[in-house]
Chains A and B, each alone.
Chain A
Amino acid sequence: MKKDQSKTIAILQLTRQGDIVQTLHVFRTLKELHPEVRLILISRERFTSGIQFLIDQTFNKTFALKPLDWVNKDDSLEQVLKKQDEQIDAINDDEEINVLINLSFSKSSALLSRFINAPYKLGLVADRIGGEIAIDNWSQYISSSVMSGPLNGLALVDIYKMITGVKTIPPEKITEELKESVSEQNIVIHPFASHAKKRWKPQKWSEIIYKVLKDNPTLKVHIVGGAADHDESQKIINTPSLKNFSEQIYLHAGNANVQDTWNLISSCTLFVGHDSMVSHLASLAKKTSLTISLGTVRSHETAPYGQDSYVMAPKTKCFPCFPTDACETYQCHADISYHVVASSISTLLASGQIETQDIENNISPFHLGSFDFYKSDFSQSGLMRLVNINPHSAPQTKVIVQQFLRMAWLYLLEQKEEQLNFYEITPKVAQDLRNLQAGLEHLFDLCEFGKKYSLQILEEVASDTVEIGKLKEHSAKIDEIDELSLSLKNAHPYLTPIINYLALQKATLGGDNLVKLSESSFLTYDKGSLLVKILFDLIDKNLQNTEQSNKRAEADV
């Protein structure tokens, strides 16, 4: 039965629990702003079942798919397809969906999006040859930047908000009353993650817990995790050093469900853990959190979303890696010491926050050079950003490029201007940036040529005597430009997001005739030129600033 509602928005989120919790951030805000909107979630049962109590706070209805249940022992393909059809029909018959938003960026979700009825669709949708088309600007951004490497400087929650059109409002600050309402100090630690690359070995957590309990004699530590984490959690607490603290340590891993974990987190003073679904639960509960990002984790993308979110991220050259990258040494695990984590926990327990001065006062510089220590902040446009508060961590080229790209994309796609913070850069980073500028000049030239040949096609079509030979010639030049652009990625990997975006735009040019296609082609190259110019200028300004600072320093000497 279809509901008599003015607007129904359906969200397709087939990926894991952590992604669903980040999605909840977006639609909780939408529901606060527009309570009259009916919200539907289409997801997988295996990921919704534990967190249905949270989903129900925001979504009016959940369609939880259980594909393995569609197959009985002797079923034919036809019978299983019929069950899949029944599930799709149930969605289409039950709901009059006005907008379908696919936030999962997987092949299966793109195909499913194709078969759900809705007049407007956002995100990925499959075409007739089974390929995926990113419909809106920010979905194209995800396909070209987020999926291609670690150069995305925006929080996933903010990108989801921009795809959806939800106003980007900073979450409220964690108030003093909230902190004071906690009668005794409890911290929740989740020392686990979905992959070994993303979590420390138990021993390191034992050391942290020992140090924290020694420094905070009345503190209670709650260790949370799933059934699969039970053995590892035993290894953490069954160490001789923690024997005397057994009355202060509460082990919940394997004994508590997600709702119990949520209740525990909601009443704790501080959450500490790796990047995981549980760290996103802490942010949804508006808790101060300290996250240790390791392995494949992209801090700027998936840091717990909200105020008072602290993140430690190693400066290891290969960090963050891809899930498929082989690794035997786990160097990034060694680049953050247990001393800095324990000391930071104690500071957060004592004062509720950490400033640069606290790091300077409490942690030896010997431990500070190998990791970035971020604190969440919200820009004037309401978007989260991570600010490095570690005074001994010189910014790496990739971080600077990531942040400049963030500014360029926000200007291009949202007309949002963010304030430029100059980075103090080393000669090596300055050289990297000059190399990148050379690549940007090359890409700018290619975009300008692309504009030129797109215009020449338009002029040829508009002329009294259209010469097919000339049209072919200009078209061949455009193909050549696109090939040269793609080859630039090898020499200048930092250009990958821009080149990918332009390629994606070219692959889905709007228009059904030569004139409209050429106009779209011109506009795509024009976007490319603008992006490149912004990035070039930002780098130039930072290099000039560094040069002037160096001259002033020399003059002072």
Chain B
Amino acid sequence: MEEFNKQLQKGLNELQEKLGNSQEASDEELKTLLLARLMDEELNEERSK
């Protein structure tokens, strides 16, 4: 899980930089963003229990 989180954060940082420069993202990058958002929402729900 720790390795996964590290890699996810790295992927998101790279994507953030790209989107910040108004560059289009690839499908793979957008899927990483989707995964990050889904995970984030799930963990928020877990925390609010």
Interface residues of A (CB under 8 A from B): 14, 44, 46, 65, 67-68, 70-71, 73-78, 80-81, 84-85, 106-108, 111-112, 114-115, 126, 128-130, 228
Knowing A81-B31, A84-B34 are in contact, say whether A46-B4 is a contact too (CB < 8 A).
no
In the complex, which residue of chain B has the Cβ closest to the Cβ of A111? B34
In the complex, which residue of chain A has the Cβ closest to the Cβ of B34? A111
In the bound complex, residues from chain A placing their C-beta under 8 Å from that of B15 are 130
Q: How far is the CA of A54 from the CA of B34 in the complex (A)?
A: 28
How many chain B residues touch the partner (CB < 8 A)? 29
> Which single member of B3, B11, B42 contacts A67 (CB below 8 Å)?
B42
Mask: chain B, 4-29; 1 = CB below 8 Å from A; 0 = not:
10011001000100010011110110
Query: A518: shortest Cβ distance to chain B, in Å?
Result: 23
Does B4 contact A75, Cβ atoms closer than 8 Å? yes
In the complex, which residue of chain A has the Cβ closest to the Cβ of B41? A108
Does A130 contact B11, Cβ atoms closer than 8 Å? no
The interface residues of chain A, by DSSP majority, are classed as helix
> Which single member of B8, B19, B28, B34 contacts A108 (CB below 8 Å)?
B34
The interface residues of chain B, by DSSP majority, are classed as helix
Does B42 contact A84, Cβ atoms closer than 8 Å? no
Knowing A65-B38, A85-B31 are in contact, say whether A129-B24 is a contact too (CB < 8 A).
yes
In the complex, which residue of chain A has the Cβ closest to the Cβ of B20? A129
In the bound complex, residues from chain B placing their C-beta under 8 Å from that of A108 are 34, 37-38, 41
Q: How far is the CA of A106 from the CA of B33 in the complex (A)?
A: 13
In the bound complex, residues from chain B placing their C-beta under 8 Å from that of A76 are 3-4, 7
Interface residues of B (CB under 8 A from A): 1, 3-4, 7-8, 11, 15, 19, 22-25, 27-28, 30-35, 37-39, 41-43, 45-46, 49
In the bound complex, residues from chain B placing their C-beta under 8 Å from that of A80 are 4, 8, 35
Q: How far is the CA of A228 from the CA of B30 in the complex (A)?
A: 36
Knowing A46-B45, A106-B41 are in contact, say whether A77-B30 is a contact too (CB < 8 A).
no
- 14 additional A-B residue pairs with CB within 8 Å, beyond A108-B41, A114-B30, A130-B30: A65-B38, A67-B38, A74-B3, A76-B4, A76-B7, A80-B4, A80-B8, A80-B35, A85-B31, A106-B41, A112-B38, A115-B31, A128-B24, A128-B25
In the bound complex, residues from chain A placing their C-beta under 8 Å from that of B4 are 71, 75-77, 80
Knowing A85-B31, A112-B34, A130-B25 are in contact, say whether A77-B11 is a contact too (CB < 8 A).
yes
Does A71 contact B1, Cβ atoms closer than 8 Å? yes
In the bound complex, residues from chain A placing their C-beta under 8 Å from that of B19 are 129-130
Query: B3: shortest Cβ distance to chain A, in Å?
Result: 6
In the bound complex, residues from chain A placing their C-beta under 8 Å from that of B22 are 129
Query: A353: shortest Cβ distance to chain B, in Å?
Result: 37
Of A44, A76, A106, A129, most buried by chain B (CB within 10 Å of CB) is A129
In the bound complex, residues from chain B placing their C-beta under 8 Å from that of A77 are 4, 7-8, 11, 32
Knowing A76-B3, A77-B8, A228-B49 are in contact, say whether A68-B39 is a contact too (CB < 8 A).
yes
In the bound complex, residues from chain B placing their C-beta under 8 Å from that of A71 are 1, 4, 39
Can you list 6 A-B contacts (CB < 8 A)? Answer: A71-B39, A77-B7, A106-B41, A111-B30, A112-B34, A129-B22
